[in-house]
């Protein structure tokens, strides 16, 4: 079984839990997720199966979309609702819609974030949450992230009370921490804040409407229809320019063999490209990092073809 399974991860499970359960349901060990979701977060989690595990990193690195609730007035050690409160402002607050929109606008574009202590970012070979659980504070590296768009979903003109809340939709690049973004929004408004709820509604080209829960996947597998639901690995590479080889048998043969070749003209404007025959990706190439004027394979997806043109082997 090969392909990408758009899974809807439910609350209470880690991403690794989902992989473990799917290995049992699908009776295969070659299953991998495409970016962790915290146990208290539900949402889109594309799962790569079989040969599609080769493209997992491209989904992980693609853009994401979230619906998040921001709670103003308290900050927590984890920056979400699960952590202990570390700062609070119990004053009666009145925040205008215009103030919130201004804060969101100031955080749109390329911004700097410091990963939360309770995160999987590694420092000196250990994950930050491992330090946090032992009460050890370490210096965390700043990182640049891309916030493509933030929309204010809540329609209120005023957000008021001791702990006003509002809901936002965030479209962002890889490595963005939405809970840290919630804290940053609070800072712009002049109050401690945390993320009180989060749902991932899209990962790459996969959206909520495309997904199935674990129980639905189990039922589809039992009914023998799951394989037809899987998306081809090409879905993960939709943002990379394609070079079609249907009419160039000589170049096709060389690429099937994974050869280092003279640089294709496509690299005058692109930094990577997928070579395709009859709608199937066979290799991803990039300019050779050491040899000017040449290109080399980054990943091979289809090593050779069978007698009737059927693709066999995915090494």
Indicate if 247 and 210 belong to the same structural domain: no
The structure's pTM equals: 0.85
Domain end point (choices 192, 213, 235): 235
Q: Are 154 and 28 part of one and the same domain?
A: no
Domain harbouring 102, CATH code:
3.30.2350.10
Q: Where would I find the H helices in 73-213?
A: 97-106, 128-133, 178-189
Does residue 245 share a domain with residue 173? Answer: no
143 and 74 in a common domain:
yes
Q: Phi and psi for 227 in degrees, rounded to 5?
A: -60, -35
**Tens of pLDDT, residues 117-154:** 777 777 777 777 777 787 877 777 889 999 999 999 99
The total of other beta-carbon atoms located within 10 Å of residue 144's CB is 10
Together in a domain, 91 and 132: yes
Q: Are residues 192 and 209 in the same domain?
A: no
- 173 and 95 within one domain: yes
Q: Which residue has the higher pLDDT, 32 or 131?
A: 32
Whether residue 86 sits in one domain with residue 181: yes
- Tell me which residue range forms the domain holding 292: 240-312
Pick from 288, 279, 287, 276: nearest CA to 251: 276
> CA–CA distance from 56 to each of 6, 76, 258 (Å)?
12, 32, 21
**Banded model confidence at residue 36, pLDDT cuts 50, 70, 90:** confident
- Is the predicted pLDDT of residue 72 greater than 50, yes or no? yes
What does the pLDDT look like over 214-239, one tens digit per residue?
999 999 999 999 999 999 988 999 88
Number of domains in the chain: 3
Among 2, 38, 246, 247, which one carries the catalytic annotation?
Answer: 38
Residue 248 designated active-site: no
Q: What is the CATH number of the domain that holds 249?
A: 2.30.130.10
For the cut 50, the answer to whether the pLDDT of residue 263 exceeds it is yes
Average pLDDT of the residues of the chain: 90
């Amino acid at each position: 079984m090969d392909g990408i399974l758009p899974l809807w991860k439910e609350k209470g499970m880690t991403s690794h839990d989902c992989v473990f359960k799917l290995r049992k349901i699908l009776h295969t060990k070659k299953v991998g997720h495409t970016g962790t979701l915290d146990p208290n977060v539900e949402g889109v989690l594309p799962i790569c199966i079989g040969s599609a595990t080769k493209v997992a990193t491209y989904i992980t690195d693609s853009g994401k979309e979230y619906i998040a609730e921001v709670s103003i007035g308290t900050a927590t050690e984890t920056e979400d609702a699960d952590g202990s409160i570390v700062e609070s402002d119990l004053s009666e607050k009145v925040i205008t819609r215009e103030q919130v929109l201004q804060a969101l606008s100031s955080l749109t574009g390329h911004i700097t974030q410091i990963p939360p202590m309770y995160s999987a970012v590694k420092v000196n070979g250990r994950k930050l949450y491992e330090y946090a659980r032992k009460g050890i504070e370490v210096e965390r590296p700043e990182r640049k992230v891309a916030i493509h768009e933030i929309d204010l979903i809540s329609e209120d003109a005023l957000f008021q009370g001791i702990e006003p809340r509002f809901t936002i939709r965030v479209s962002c690049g890889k490595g963005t921490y939405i809970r840290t973004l919630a804290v940053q929004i609070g800072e712009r408004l002049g109050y401690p804040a945390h993320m009180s709820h989060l749902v991932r509604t899209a990962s790459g080209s996969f959206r909520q409407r495309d997904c199935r829960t674990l129980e639905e996947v189990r039922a589809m597998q039992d009914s023998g229809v799951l394989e037809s639901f899987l998306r081809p690995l090409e879905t993960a590479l939709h943002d990379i320019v394609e070079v079609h080889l249907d009419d160039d048998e000589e170049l096709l043969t060389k690429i099937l063999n994974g050869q280092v070749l003279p640089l294709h003209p496509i690299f005058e404007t692109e930094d990577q490209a997928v070579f395709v025959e009859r709608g199937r990706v066979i290799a991803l190439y990039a300019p050779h990092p050491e040899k000017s004027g040449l290109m080399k394979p980054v990943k091979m997806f289809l090593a050779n073809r069978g007698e009737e043109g059927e693709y066999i082997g995915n090494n």
